[in-house]
Amino acid sequence: MAIVTDLEAPTDLLRDIWETPRGLLGTLSSVDHKTIGKRYLVTAFVFFLLGGLEAAAMRAQLAQSGEHLMSPEAYNQLFTMHGVTMIFLFASPVLSGFSNYLWPLLIGSRDMAYPRVNALSYWTFLMSGIFLYSSFLVGQAPDGGWFAYVPMTERAFSPGLNMDFYALGLIFLGISTTVGAVNFITTFFKLRAPGMSINRVPIMMWGTLTTSFSVVFAVPALTVACIMLFFDRRFGMHFFDAARGGHPMLWQHLFWMFGHPWVYIVVLPAIGLASEIIPTFCRRPLAGYTFVVLSTIATALLGFGVWVHHMFATGLPQLSADFFSASSMVISIASGVSIAAWIATIWQGRPKFKTPFLFMAGFIILFVIGGVSGVMTASVPFDWQLTDSYFVVAHLHYVLIGINVFPVFGALYYWLPKITGRMLSERLGRWVFWTMFVGFNLGFFPMHIAGILGMPRRIYTYQSGLGWDSVNLVTTLGAYVFAVGVLLFIVDFLRSLRHGEPAGCNPWDAATLEWSTSSPPPPYNFAVMPTVRSPYPLWEARLGEQGQSQLDRGALLGSGRETFGTSALDSDPEEVLRMPDDSLWPVLLSLSLLGFFYGMLTSAWWLAILGVAALIITLVGWLWPTDITSPSPPRRIARRGAEA
Amino acid sequence: MSMANRDSLAAQPFGLPISPADHRSPGWWAMVFVIVTESAFFAYFIFSYFYLASMAQGAWPPEGAPSLRLALPNTIILLASSAALKWGEAGIRHGSQRRLRAGLLLTFLLGVAFLVIQSIEYSHQHFTPATDAYGSLFFTITGFHGAHVAVGLLMNLVVQLRAWLGHFSAERHLAVTNAAMYWHFVDAVWIVVFISLYLSPRFG
């Protein structure tokens, strides 16, 4: 019979089945969600540092009036790539990194629903990032701002390749985001451990699930807009050309139909991280689990109905502006529910002020500040005064750094011990947090004032005597203090790899399944398939829950790469899913796409056609049936049997 | 490891099916979401069409409503291809390899006919994508739809090849189901495109 205890489980056999071979081939073909998750985290972090360097250069330029460290053209490229990098290549992929690494561990599975699609998602992310950054090599990085308003970005006003890199790069990246989202959705509904019914899902997963649905509906808007922009620029079409029946507002509508949901795409999973971490350090379950889930879903839905608040100053009819102003304010109710739940959790718990908790506490404060300035700009008359000023820059940084970067750093302190098996330093961690927190507020709070004093965003320099000098100097100093905090974190991380204390399975005494396996987890995640009976499986004894989860005894599923497929709501086991082996197809498919996009960029049609041909061959090879779907056991097991 | 041990590991736990090829399969879900996100893709194009139509200063379309002389028969051809595929699909569900192959082949031919007729229609248009925003919309929307038809045809070719290799049975034919879902989706998109681009200017 296939029910065994974890001590009886033949772990060397499982390791053999699931481990990726070493060497170049193994590196390129691995589909292990943990490997992919780590790659996502590292790659996103590298982009974070690049975006940070761009910001540091801009802040040097703006530190005092009349500075001439760089040309206006260079400044345009820097602020555009800073935005593109942070929003597209860091904020969302870093969350995908956490989700990829953690989801199968959180739900007691052995991999994601589509392991090869997972690899494809990573490679495509990496290559679209390289594609976007290769623009610097030819000195023509995107320079029209991260939202690339036409007609400024049309060929007549931007004749270089700059905005072609932008349009094609974002279409390219959209493929990665979309296939990743589909993977998350299917994993959520199909791969949860037996018994993990929909009300027992770890809270953080709801953020990523909700945003994955948003991705599926929102990313095509950006893709369509970028296709139109590229067609206008390259083939002389007229989508945005008012003289020939087009309309520049079409770009703004399409961009923000994508752009505002995207804001929630980069914050809701981070909010989920907070909802997961705060209860651990308060030693009690999250207050109002159901309300937090519902408010997450409500936020994402409302996120599709607020895009026009980015366009209040474009002369829309008053009624339309009123509607979008109201809907934008309604979102703050949904956000307020989450904040109330965290405060209730802290209030009723016994908070332990470890580093991850500090980051979460800081995040709550920044969330409130960013939220309040958001409600301010949601009000039409106020927005008319301050749109395109530094006030908006301050607001969006409070939102994106406050609600994305702070939870992400907290989550790194929380989960890196699971990923590397080593603890980070608690003492250094406090330094990292306080340096980042003080630096951030010192740097970005004065931007509100600069905006109220009338400083427009995106200017490369300014005259003295306008009252902007001291706020800008303070902002630059604060930004550099923040950067020191980030550097300290890198020091802490590198130190921990060698000298960190071994983490053990569950260093935080946390409640969810990932802490029941070793740190780092084995390639097969769990020696036996767990059965879950509560939302906090590792806290059941303490909470005195009925019906206990079974983690040390369960199905082995050891005849090849296998995991349970379960029903969507109740998570009853329905089938055993044969999972694919490591595969080179994903990286080849991403390379084909890279060839295609470079072909389009340079009008080298032969290269574009070659890319498409390679794409077709790769897809056919990928989808051609192997023994995965055949009813007989996979070959490698048969082979192993023959050897025995 | 002993043979007996290995056999016990290979035993199906709880008698659950192994990677079933039906709507429970992850492959089926993947196709559903491909269709969902692609629907959104076309929806944003259709939105753009009506947005620019509503903003137009002069007549819309500037060249008058596009002719139905080729487009209407072409629509019928595409609908017929969906019916042919449905017939082939029903065949394999009853285990008929022959009906599956015939259905796939017929679908393929009708799909090719659609693309040929569409390219003839293109060559007869007296405007180009670079004439005005309407031209850009017309050719981009119908062009992307045509590209989707081409993708559907490629899927059809692969599935046909596999049908000839005898890969499918009444129980296991997920690739047929998926390719068919995609094909019906592409047809449904055409109905929306046809109503928006060809019929709606006639209502106004």
Which residues are CB-contacts of A393 (< 8 A; sequence separation ≥ 6)? A447, A451, A457
Place of tokens 């036409």: A150
Measuring CA to CA, which residue among B193, B118, B114, B189 is closest to residue B156? Answer: B114
Residue B189's contacts (CB-CB under 8 Å, 6 or more residues apart) are B38, B39, B42, B145, B148
- Relative to beta strand A562-566, strand A529-531 is unpaired
Q: Is the complex ipTM higher than 0.85?
A: yes
CB contact under 8 A, B136 and A623: no
CA A452 remoteness from chain centre = 32
Query: Is the peptide bond prior to A356 cis by the omega test (within 30 degrees of 0)?
Result: no
Answer for the pair B52, A245: CB distance below 8 angstroms, yes or no: yes
Supply A239's token pair.
Answer: 């989508």
Residue of A nearest to B1 (CA): A644
Using a CB-CB cut-off of 8 Å, the residues of chain A touching B41 are: 220, 223-224
Query: What backbone torsions phi and psi does residue A563 show, to the nearest 5 degrees?
Result: -150, 165
Placement of tokens 């960190």 in the chain: A500
Q: Do B51 and A253 touch (CB under 8 A)?
A: yes
Distance from CA of B57 to the nearest CA of A (A): 7
B55 CA: distance to closest CA in chain A (Å): 8
Rounded Cα distance, B96 and B113, in Å: 26
Contact A576 B16 (CB under 8 A): yes
**pLDDT value of position A523:** 95
Question: Which of B30, B47, B133 lies nearest to residue A241, judging by beta carbons?
Answer: B133
A634, closest residue in chain B (CA to CA)? B10
* Best to test chain B binding among A16, A31, A191, A623 (most B CBs inside 10 Å): A623
| Cα B32 to Cα A112, A186, A533, B36, B178, distances in angstroms | 18, 10, 30, 6, 9
Q: Which of B10, B47, B48 sits opposite A559 (nearest CB)?
A: B10
Query: Do the Cβ atoms of A533 and A568 come closer than 8 Å?
Result: no
- What's the rounded Cα separation, in Å, for the pair A356 and A433? 9
Amino acid identity, position A154: E
How close A379 gets to chain B, by Cα (Å)? Answer: 26
Pairing relationship of beta strands A550-555 and A3-5 according to DSSP bridges: antiparallel
Judge: A640–B1 Cβ closer than 8 Å, yes or no.
Answer: yes
List chain A residues with CB under 8 Å of B30: 114, 117, 182, 186
Residue A500's SS3 state is coil
Question: Considering CB atoms only, which of A186, A245, A254 is closest to B29?
Answer: A186
Which tokens hold the place of A598?
A: 């470079």
Shortest distance, CA A600 to any CA of chain B (angstroms): 16
Total domains present in chain B: 1
* Distances from the Cα of A409 to the Cα of A120, A304, A488, angstroms: 26, 28, 12
Nearest CA in chain B to A114: B26
pLDDT in tens, A73-104: 999 999 999 999 999 999 999 999 999 999 99
A637–B10: do the CB atoms touch at under 8 Å?
A: yes
**Residue among A454, A474, A304, A468 at smallest CA distance from A392:** A454
- Write the CATH number for B43: 1.20.120.80
Nearest residue on chain A to B50, judged by CA atoms? A250
Q: Do A575 and B17 touch (CB under 8 A)?
A: yes
Six-digit token string for A134: 């290769």
Helices (H) and strands (E) counted in chain A, each on its own, are 21, 5
Give the chain B residue nearest A236 (alpha carbons): B130
Sign of CA dihedral A262, A263, A268, A273: positive
Its domain, for residue B8, covers 3-203
Tell if the CB–CB gap between B48 and A640 is shorter than 8 Å.
no
Report the pLDDT value the prediction gives residue A140, as an integer from 0 to 100: 96
- b or e along A255-264 (b: 16 or more beta carbons within 10 Å of the residue's beta carbon)? bbbbbbbbbb
Using the beta-carbon criterion (under 8 Å), do A3 and B13 form an inter-chain contact?
A: yes
On chain A, the residues whose CB falls within 8 A of the CB of B172 are 629
Q: Check CB contact under 8 Å for B134 and A245.
A: yes
Q: In this structure, are strands A550-555 and A562-566 parallel, antiparallel, or unpaired?
A: unpaired
Q: Which amino acid is at B27?
A: G
Strand extents, DSSP E, A512-634: 529-531, 550-555, 562-566, 573-578
What backbone phi and psi angles, to 5 degrees, belong to B18?
-100, 120
- Shortest CA gap B87–chain A (Å): 24
Asked if residue A414 lies in contact with residue A477, where contact means CB atoms within 8 angstroms, the answer is no
Q: Coil, strand or helix: which one is A5?
A: strand
Confidence class for position B204, pLDDT limits 50, 70, 90: low
Which tokens in the block code for residue A226? 């970028």
DSSP H stretches of helix in A312-354: 318-348
- Check residue B3 and give its pLDDT: 34
Q: Is the dihedral of CA A532, A536, A542, A545 positive or negative?
A: negative
β-bridge mates for residue A378, sequence order: none
- Residue A595: both structure tokens together: 């060839």
Contacts of B148 in chain A (CB under 8 A): none
Contacts of A282 (CB under 8 A, 6+ apart): A345, A346, A348, A349, A350, A351, A352
What SS3 state is found at A550?
strand
Q: Show the low-confidence residues of chain A (pLDDT under 70).
A: 1, 545-547, 627-644
Backbone φ, ψ for residue B76 (5° rounding): -65, -40
Residue A415 has which token pair? 């989960």
Q: Which of A178, A244, A254 sits opposite B48 (nearest CB)?
A: A254
Q: How many residue pairs from chains A and B have C-beta atoms closer than 8 A?
A: 176
Is the link from the previous residue into A535 a cis peptide, with omega within 30 of 0?
no
Q: What is the mean pLDDT of residues B95-109?
A: 95
Nearest to B40 among A182, A216, A633 (CB): A216
pLDDT value for A380: 87
The tokens describing A14, both together, are 């499982």
A114, two tokens:
């589509």
| A121: Cα within 13 Å, side-chain hemisphere | 29
Distance CA B2, CA A634 (A): 18
Q: How far A229 CA lies from chain B's nearest CA (Å)?
A: 11
CB atoms within 10 A of CB A531: 21
B133 vs A239: CB contact, 8 Å cut-off? Answer: yes
Residue of A nearest to B171 (CA): A631
Rounded CA gap, A45 and A37, in Å? 12
Asked if pLDDT for residue B4 goes beyond 90, the answer is: no
Residues linked to residue A577 through DSSP beta bridges, in sequence order: A563
Structure confidence by residue, pLDDT tens digits, A478-504? 999 999 999 999 999 999 999 999 999
d(CA A124, CA A590) in angstroms, rounded, equals: 5
Q: Do A216 and B33 touch (CB under 8 A)?
A: yes
Q: Where are the beta strands (DSSP E) in A537-638?
A: 550-555, 562-566, 573-578
Q: Å from A228 to nearest chain B CA?
A: 9
Nearest to B28 by CA among A24, A182, A367, A97: A182
Q: How far is B44 from chain A (nearest CA, A)?
A: 6
Q: Chain A partners of B11 at a C-beta cutoff of 8 Å?
A: 1-2, 559
Q: Which of B85, B47, B76, B46 is nearest to B185 (CA)?
A: B85
